[in-house]
Amino acid sequence: MSTDDSGAIPLRNEADIVQCRRTVRQLALALQFSLVDQTKIITAASELSRNTVVYGGGGEMNWDIVTQGIKTGLRLQFTDHGPGIPDLDLALKDGWTSGAGMGLGLSGSKRLVHEFDLHSVVGEGTRVTITRWK
């Protein structure tokens, strides 16, 4: 894998979700994240990439290696141009789902990372940005 500081991958189908997890795993390893931190960022990426494909109709994941003082982290941004989320507060509640899932994708992902930002406009799409610091 390249050691670039940023990149993007498409999220259109199940194979892309698998590639997303693989990419995040490689990045977390390259950054020497602990096994626990690797698991948390990979799990969050898996949930959010699946949401992008299933609920957003596809999109992409952009990644950046970021620094803040002496800290290094991995920032992932999941973007789609789907229907958007009409009620962000409701969407972030454990157990709420707009489909057949368990309703832990957004809220669970939020708990797995250090920074979580959700922006959605009905009819335009959704952007979720997460960061996990080493």
pLDDT band at 95 (very low <50, low <70, confident <90, very high): low
* Domain encompassing residue 98: 6-133
Nearest alpha carbon to residue 85 among 49, 56, 122: 122
Q: Domain for residue 37, yes or no? A: yes
Q: What is the CATH number of the domain that holds 75?
A: 3.30.565.10
Q: Domain for residue 95, yes or no? A: yes
Q: Domain for residue 25, yes or no? A: yes
Q: How far is CA 39 from CA 45, 52, 59, 113, 120, in A?
A: 10, 20, 23, 11, 26
Q: Which helix (H) or strand (E) segment is 30 a member of?
A: helix 14-30
Give pLDDT, residue 123: 95
User: Which residues are CB-neighbours of 50 under 8 A, at least 6 positions away?
Assistant: 17, 105
Q: Is the whole model's pTM more than 0.85, yes or no?
A: yes
Strands in 71-80's sheet, in edge-to-edge order, are 6-11, 59-68, 71-80, 125-133, 115-121
Q: Model confidence over 57-79: pLDDT tens digits?
A: 999 999 999 999 999 999 999 99
CB under 8 Å, gap of 24 or more: what pairs does 86-90 form? 86/122, 88/118, 88/120
Q: Domain for residue 32, yes or no? A: yes
Q: Domain for residue 88, yes or no? A: yes
Give pLDDT, residue 89: 83
Q: Which two tokens stand for residue 70?
A: 């002496």
Q: Domain for residue 1, yes or no? A: no
Domain count along the chain: 1
User: Which residues are CB-neighbours of 100 under 8 A, at least 6 positions away?
Assistant: none
Q: Domain for residue 96, yes or no? A: yes
Q: Domain for residue 105, yes or no? A: yes
Rounded to an integer, the average pLDDT of 36-53 is 96
**Percentage of residues in the chain having pLDDT higher than 70:** 90
